[in-house]
Every structure is written in C-alpha cells, then in structure tokens.
Amino acid sequence: MGLNASVTKLSVLVLPIAVFATVISVAAAQTAAPGNVVQRQDGMKAMANAAKTINAMFRDSSPYDAKTFKAAAETVRAHSGAALSALFEGPVTTPGSKAAASIETERQQFGKLANDLGIYASALSVAADRNPHALGPETRMQGSETMIGGPLAKKIDAAREAELMPAEHAFHLMLQTCTSCHAKFRIEGK
C-alpha cells in the first residue's frame, strides 16, 4: 500500500509538470522561426565565417593555407546559387526572417545574385588549387582592376570573367554581391 501511495503522489506532481512542459514546447515551436528561415540564417552565418577566413588570408592576418582557403570558398559555393534560391521559394516574409517581400517579385535578380555569388566562390576555390603554397602577386588586385565591377564601373559577366581575374578581385566582387543582395533584399532592424 505504501508503494502505491508514493506512486500516486509522484504522478500527481509529475503529471502537471509534464503538461506544463508540453504547453511551453508547443508555444515555443509556434513562435520560432520556420525551418527554412533557420537554414537561411545558418547558411548566411557559414558564408560570413568563410568570408572572414578568406579575408584574413588576403590581409596576411592569418597564414595562407590552401586547404582552408578552398574549404572556405567551397562553403560559400555550397550555400549559394540554386541552393540559396531554393531557401527563398514561396512566401519569404515569415516570422524571424529579415527577407524582404521584393524577393518574391524580383526572383530573377535575386537568382542572378545567388548564382554570381557561387561563381565568385568557385573562382576562389580554383585559385586555391592553383596556388598551393602562397597567395602570390598574380592572385592580388592590380591598380587597373580596382574599379571593375564597382558601383560606377562597367558591369562584368561573372560567368565569363571570374576565373580570369585575380582571386582577390573575385573575393571583393563576391563580397560586393553579398552587399548588393542584402541592400536590396534584406530588411534591417527586424
């Protein structure tokens, strides 16, 4: 009898706690960002970290390592292009998202930016293969290249020109693509 009384008392205490925990879990799940928003954010964070890794090597604040450089470039490539566009299909303005509704109406431009990002990242990956020991002078931007692709300069065709330019220039254009996309398709302060 004593054991049954203890089990009954325990169940009277545990049952309300379990119900409360379930209610809290359901409420949290309903207010959390949808899965694709979390995937988008995780992908953006991965690309930002990869860009920081590459930037540190170009600035010589981290030693150049071709494998690390290539892995960072491949991280950006894997999260860009069709993979990035797919995460923004359907309604994009969902709770927890900083995506602007203009993505839905300007999918072609969004898709082009996503593809260009992948092209520049691929060019960086190839540069890592071509430069196994150091980022030599041929990987660095030259004075005449500083304005190619800038806001006031002629626009380039990323698909045709990315692998022909120095890796540092492809990196800057990759960053500019991120900036352009965020300026047009990201809502700040949300």
Please tell me the predicted confidence (pLDDT) of residue 2.
55
The DSSP bridge partners found for residue 186 are 99
Whether residue 44 has pLDDT greater than 50 = yes
Please tell me the predicted confidence (pLDDT) of residue 132.
96
Higher pLDDT, 64 or 164: 64
Give the three-class secondary structure for 18. Answer: helix
**Which DSSP string do the residues of 54-79 spell out, in sequence order?**
HHHHHTTSS---HHHHHHHHHHHHHT
Higher pLDDT, 109 or 151: 109
Q: What is the CATH number of domain 34-185?
A: 1.20.120.10
Higher pLDDT, 190 or 92: 92
Please tell me the predicted confidence (pLDDT) of residue 82.
97
Give the three-class secondary structure for 99. Answer: strand
Please tell me the predicted confidence (pLDDT) of residue 161.
72
The answer to whether 166 and 105 are in contact (CB under 8 A) is: no
What pTM value is reported for the model?
Answer: 0.76
Give the three-class secondary structure for 186. Answer: strand
Cβ neighbourhood burial of 14 (10 Å; 0-12, 13-18, 19+): exposed
The residue behind tokens 């660095």 is: 140
Rounded to the nearest integer, the mean pLDDT of the chain is: 81
φ and ψ at residue 62, rounded to 5 degrees: -130, 145
Q: How far apart are CA 138 and CA 131, in angstroms?
A: 10
Q: Where are the domains of the chain?
A: 1-31, 34-185
For residue 13, what pLDDT band results from cuts at 50, 70 and 90?
Answer: very low
Residues 62-113 have pLDDT tens digits of 999 999 999 999 999 999 999 999 999 988 888 888 999 999 999 999 999 9
- Pair of tokens at residue 5: 């009384």
Q: How far apart are CA 49 and CA 154, in angstroms?
A: 29
Please tell me the predicted confidence (pLDDT) of residue 96.
85
Higher pLDDT, 185 or 5: 185
